[in-house]
Structure 1
Amino acid sequence: MHKGIIRLCYRKVIDVSSVKPWDKLVFNDTYTEFLLQSQFYNQEKKYTAFRDLITHVPAAEKLHFLVSAAVIGYLQQLQGRVPDLLNSLGRLFLPFNNYRFEIINSDIKDKAKHQVAISFFTGHLVWHDTINNQLLLSIPGNMENGEHLTELFMLPPFVSIYSIKPAAHGTTEQGENIPG
């Protein structure tokens, strides 16, 4: 029995207060890339704040995309697993297949104001049930001896159900039938 097929989104915010080594590397490299890329849109050095720059130079919206190049290698280090989110056994388990990078805030004269976010989107997950405050999920194709291997997972802050297909649809993105 399952309730539906869902996709999750986790929005990871990284700023000067981030303490994990991976986060610090992303923070430093995205700030360096921001400084480099913003020069093209701010040749007269009129603006120091990211918000002022995109307000007065609409083409500077491209900075989200241009600065995202600094995170590609770090995302590869994650080996397709959403960071920080652990199952009930304390293990990273949640695969992601897409992400979105954004600059929340930055300033060319004050690194402490630099703040970015990476939103991680999962592929389809089978939502079997909700037990207390935890979701019982399985990842399509993750089977052993004909049984779906499950993951018990508590939804922490900054995680949401991005999309849902009601159980009536009954198949995964790989075309597997999910018993109802």
Structure 2
Amino acid sequence: MRRVVLCYRKLIDAQSARPWDQLVFTDSYRELRLQAQQFNPAGQHRTFGELLHHVPAAERLHGLVSGAVLGYLRQLDGLVPDLADNLGRRFLRFENFRFEIVNSHLQDQSQHRIAINFFTDPLYWHEPALGPFLLLSPAPPDATTGEQLTHLLQLQPFLAIHALLP
């Protein structure tokens, strides 16, 4: 049994249908346009990629814009969104995340795309995988009974083992 940290990469763009995703999308775009002014005062760069290419310090925009989504992340109450075990229960907890602007156009919100990478709290991984499922436990075995509660989590796109722990 090993301990692992999983990473779930949640992509959000104009086609994201969930209300929470749309709020994050809108507020992050608004904040990007506001913060980008300090790196693009004349407005000569139209896309995030152009801005990064011509103004290397614009890399800071990832962190500057992330403040606009902190309140929404608190609403998740520490649970990774979208992922549930085979019984439909959300159980993956996170404390750490990384916000990333994937791409954006400063005059066209429909081209705005962001990612939030959620890093789970350490979990116990019972090897080997069971087909497309990982057998995971949030806590070690009970000291008196040896019982260990588990969750089956299906491997899927944008979910990876981020780190193996001792």
Task: Give the TM-score of the pair, scaled to structure 1.
Answer: 0.86
Distance 1:104 1:140, change over 3 A: same
Question: What do the CA deviations read for 1:24-80 (whole angstroms, capped 9, x no partner)?
Answer: 010000000001100111111111111111111111111000000011001101111
Tell me the residue number matched to 1:36: 34
Distance 1:89 1:144, change over 3 A: farther
Question: What do the CA deviations read for 1:102-150 (whole angstroms, capped 9, x no partner)?
Answer: 1011111110110000000012110113222111110026869742211
Task: Give the TM-score of the pair, scaled to structure 2.
Answer: 0.93
Tell me the residue number matched to 1:150: 150
What is the CA RMSD across the aligned residues, in angstroms? Answer: 1.6
Contact 2:86 2:151 in 1 (8 A): yes
Structure 1 stretches of 4+ with a deviation exceeding 3 A read 141-146
Q: Please state if 1:159 is matched with 2:131.
A: no
Contact 2:124 2:140 in 1 (8 A): no
Unaligned ranges ≥5, structure 2: none
Q: Distance in 2 between matches of 1:81 and 1:135?
A: 18
Distance 1:38 1:142, change over 3 A: farther
Instruction: Report sequence identity in percent.
Output: 49
Tell me the residue number matched to 1:131: 130
Q: Distance in 1 between matches of 2:31 and 2:161?
A: 32
Contact 1:49 1:107 in 2 (8 A): yes
Q: Work out the number of aligned pairs and report it.
A: 164
